[in-house]
Amino acid sequence: MKTRGNLIVLSGFAGVGKGTVLKSLFETHEGYAYSVSATTRAPRPGEVNGVHYFFVSKERFEEMIEEDELLEYASYVGNYYGTPRSYVEEKLEDGFDVILEIEVEGALNVRKKVPDAILIYMLPPGARVLQERLKGRGTETDEVIARRMKRAGEEAQRVSEYDYIIVNYDVDDCADQLDALIRSQRLRVRSNLPFITKLQKELKELT
Ligand code: 5GP
């Protein structure tokens, strides 16, 4: 009997390493589907349409909102970001655990629409580590780093609204922990009601 997959929402401060951890998770563990978001922001060097994001115009994005094609969306630093609904639905139905890598506002909107969604927040081991990682990327100016650190401080206030935290001490360990956490959700009673009902029925027939 195929069990429907779980909807997993992963958030975390810029620079915490979400992308690297997810890459490790997908390379070493099976059963996951990554939801590619739509955005109106311009691609960064190396970003590929349909892989990192679906890069769309503001008009197209607003049409997606109107046509109810998005599971959630949010405006973040002047651009729209949103989760196309049909891919998520299809993969959940096929039994995959679907991962949305989205910011806090969108995450909490997902919770309203899909109460069973599991919200995970990835944290750095400490504030200094975060600052060093942002600097180490070498892609942002000191001013941008300072803005991102400030934003991290604001976002940290909302971590208590999530279900789980995961601390990124080491990329591969963090990916293993994430996998263990997500897999354990598959053992929840409410995720297994069809199986339980079937067994109850069989037991009744035999007694
Ligand atoms: P970036 O521009 O750095 O790729 O992403 C900026 C922020 O938008 C990140 O926190 C990222 O997780 C978030 N984000 C990416 N896709 C989505 C989405 O579909 N919905 C929402 N609500 N946030 C998203």
83 Cα nearest atom in ligand 1: 19
38 Cα nearest atom in ligand 1: 19
Q: How many CA atoms lie within 13 A of 109 on its CB side?
A: 15
Residue 101 Cβ contacting ligand 1 at under 6 Å: yes
Residue 85 Cβ contacting ligand 1 at under 6 Å: no
Q: How many CB atoms are located within 10 Å of the residue 17 CB?
A: 20
Helix (H, G, I), strand (E, B) or coil at 66: helix
Note whether residue 203 is domain-resident: no
Output the pLDDT for position 144.
82
Output the pLDDT for position 137.
78
Ligand 1 centre and the CA of 28: distance in Å? Answer: 24
Note whether residue 206 is domain-resident: no
37 Cα nearest atom in ligand 1: 19
Burial of 187 (0-12, 13-18, 19+ CB in 10 A): exposed
- The CATH number for 95's domain is 3.40.50.300
User: What's the pTM value of the predicted model, to 2 decimals?
Assistant: 0.91
18 Cα nearest atom in ligand 1: 12
Note whether residue 63 is domain-resident: yes
Dihedral (CA of 166, 12, 187, 171) sign: negative
Measured distance CA(119)–CA(7) in Å, rounded: 9
Contact by Cβ (8 Å): 39, 71: no
53 Cα nearest atom in ligand 1: 16
Residue 26 Cβ contacting ligand 1 at under 6 Å: no
Ligand 1 centre and the CA of 39: distance in Å? Answer: 8
Phi and psi torsions of 112, nearest 5°: -65, -40
Output the pLDDT for position 1.
58
Measured distance CA(91)–CA(33) in Å, rounded: 7
pLDDT by position in tens, the chain (length 207)? 568 899 999 999 888 999 999 999 999 999 999 999 999 999 988 999 999 999 999 999 999 999 999 999 999 878 999 999 999 999 999 999 999 999 999 999 999 999 999 999 999 999 999 889 888 877 778 888 888 888 888 888 999 999 999 999 999 999 999 999 999 998 989 888 889 999 999 999 998
What range defines the domain where residue 193 resides? 7-198
The pair of structure tokens assigned to 26 is 């997908």
Q: How many domains does the chain have?
A: 1
Single-letter residue type at 187: L
Note whether residue 44 is domain-resident: yes
Residue 80 Cβ contacting ligand 1 at under 6 Å: no
Note whether residue 84 is domain-resident: yes
Residue 181 Cβ contacting ligand 1 at under 6 Å: no
Output the pLDDT for position 16.
92
Compute CA distances 115 → 14, 62, 81, 107, 111, whole Å. 26, 26, 21, 11, 5
Residue 76 Cβ contacting ligand 1 at under 6 Å: yes
